[in-house]
Structure 1
Amino acid sequence: MLDIKKIPVNMLEENCYVVSDDTREAVVIDCGALTDDDRRRITDYIEDRRLQVRHHLCTHMHYDHCFGAAFMWETFHVGPEFNRADEPIYKGMGAEIFGPLAQVMKEGLTPAAARYLTEGDDILFGHHKLTVLSTPGHTPGGICFYCAAEKAVFVGDTLFYCSVGRTDFPGGDSEALCESVRNKLFTLPEDTRVYPGHGPHTEIGFEKAHNPYIG
């Protein structure tokens, strides 16, 4: 059984997830830790439970989702794993979105990708496996992480409770985003729990019935 801890971080209340099982192996998804308090809460949770972090997984590379890349590398020795199409965002395109905060990333360490992830790749930890779903739209390289055994999917900013991710940032594509939700997420079992990059969790069946942005 997965133990899923949501830790909202930075000024945008981005959901960083620490996901582990009874082996104490863990993955961290979308570490947007920016402040000392953000980093302390993540470190305390991991150390208190004696977890071994095996991967830092990124659904996309907007800065609010990867402010903590250097922290993850320096503290837990794991580099970010993401889709190659989002590397230009990671390397500097965020200035158009985050303004002065982009300078924080440029002045600090931005660890190289530990692995470029593509559709169908598996991430293994403990007794569990996450499978990569390619879901472009919010960004060109947007991906989601699906655990079929636990009926859980980590979707970043592709899908929210009764909403979807913005597409007015550089590289966004509203048509691609809707296709990603319909063809990748809405084909999952209806009782699959959805863990988004901001806000509360939801379920696939609920979103199919009630999400006003996906016809």
Structure 2
Amino acid sequence: MADLKIEEYQVGAISTNCYFLINSDTKEVLIVDPGGSTEMLETKIRQEQLKPVAVLLTHGHFDHASGAEDLKNTYGIQIYAHADEKYTLEDPQINLSTMLGISEQYHADVYVREGEVLHLGGFDLEVLHTPGHTEGGVCYYLKEQKVLVSGDTLFCTSIGRTDFPNGSFSDLIRSIKEKLMVLPDDVQVLPGHEGKTYIGYERDHNPYL
């Protein structure tokens, strides 16, 4: 089993959590949700002599997807997102970049689907499609390492907003209950904002569940 090292950085206009999922043996790194601050991220990569393998997007909102294209071009890597998130990525109204007074389109190179297992950087990541915050929102589950990257689906004692375009409260609750609450209690959750948590803690303390 590959040894996982997790590094967390706050990036972009609203301090989104960007995660480096690092293979300690090979120095390969998966970059999750680089929502801006690419110069800082590139500095960290250079300082630690990391080898970027891919950019993983949990969803297409600007605070998660911005910066992905820059990293793709710098390191010659691919961007991954769910197939149902294409329109969110490409529509400035839906990806919310217009909230910043700008109009940006984002793209992915590889569109993944529910249940697909990605073999990247020495890790196996299962794609869990968790619509509700957006139509194509996903979580990435590293079963061997007992880690779940939850994006804006599940937070510590909270859940993602559903009042943005194409959001659905009922879909989000269903996603969390059917896809995430069936995971073991000791799975660590890496959310898109605020602090880390565990599945068991959320099962017992999250008021939305």
Report the counterpart of residue 190 of structure 2 in structure 1.
195
Report the counterpart of residue 19 of structure 2 in structure 1.
17
Report the counterpart of residue 108 of structure 2 in structure 1.
113
Deviation track 1:88-128 (CA, whole Å, cap 9, x = no partner) reads 1111243683425362525xxx4x42110111112223332
Distance change >3 Å, CA 96–CA 53, structure 1 → 2: closer
Q: Judge conservation of contact 1:63–1:102 (CA < 8 Å) in 2.
A: no
Q: Judge conservation of contact 1:153–1:194 (CA < 8 Å) in 2.
A: yes
Report the counterpart of residue 130 of structure 1 in structure 2.
125
SS at match of 2:128: strand
Q: CA deviation at 1:212?
A: 0.4
Give the residue type in structure 2 aligned to 1:3.
K
Report the counterpart of residue 60 of structure 1 in structure 2.
59
Q: Judge conservation of contact 1:78–1:114 (CA < 8 Å) in 2.
A: no
- More helix by proportion, 1 or 2? 1
Report the counterpart of residue 31 of structure 2 in structure 1.
28
Q: Judge conservation of contact 1:7–1:16 (CA < 8 Å) in 2.
A: yes
Distance change >3 Å, CA 142–CA 95, structure 1 → 2: closer
Q: Judge conservation of contact 1:72–1:79 (CA < 8 Å) in 2.
A: no
Distance 1:102 1:184 in 2: 35
**TM norm structure 1:** 0.90
Give the residue type in structure 1 aligned to 2:98.
G
Report the counterpart of residue 172 of structure 2 in structure 1.
177
Distance 2:93 2:60 in 1: 9
Q: Which runs of 5+ in 1 are unaligned?
A: none
The answer to whether structure 1 residue 168 and structure 2 residue 199 are counterparts is no
SS at match of 1:105: coil
Between the two proteins, the alignment pairs up a number of residues equal to 206
Give the residue type in structure 1 aligned to 2:62.
Y
Q: Percent identity?
A: 35
Give the residue type in structure 2 aligned to 1:69.
A
Moved beyond 3 Å, runs of 4+: 93-98
Report the counterpart of residue 77 of structure 2 in structure 1.
78
SS at match of 1:131: strand
Q: Judge conservation of contact 1:94–1:102 (CA < 8 Å) in 2.
A: no
Distance change >3 Å, CA 140–CA 51, structure 1 → 2: same
Q: Judge conservation of contact 2:62–2:95 (CA < 8 Å) in 1.
A: no
Q: Which runs of 5+ in 2 are unaligned?
A: none
SS at match of 1:184: helix
Q: Residue 199 of structure 2: which of 197, 204, 210 is its match?
A: 204
Distance change >3 Å, CA 52–CA 104, structure 1 → 2: farther
Distance 2:121 2:79 in 1: 19
**TM norm structure 2:** 0.93
Q: CA deviation at 1:205?
A: 0.3
Q: CA deviation at 1:69?
A: 1.9
Report the counterpart of residue 49 of structure 2 in structure 1.
50
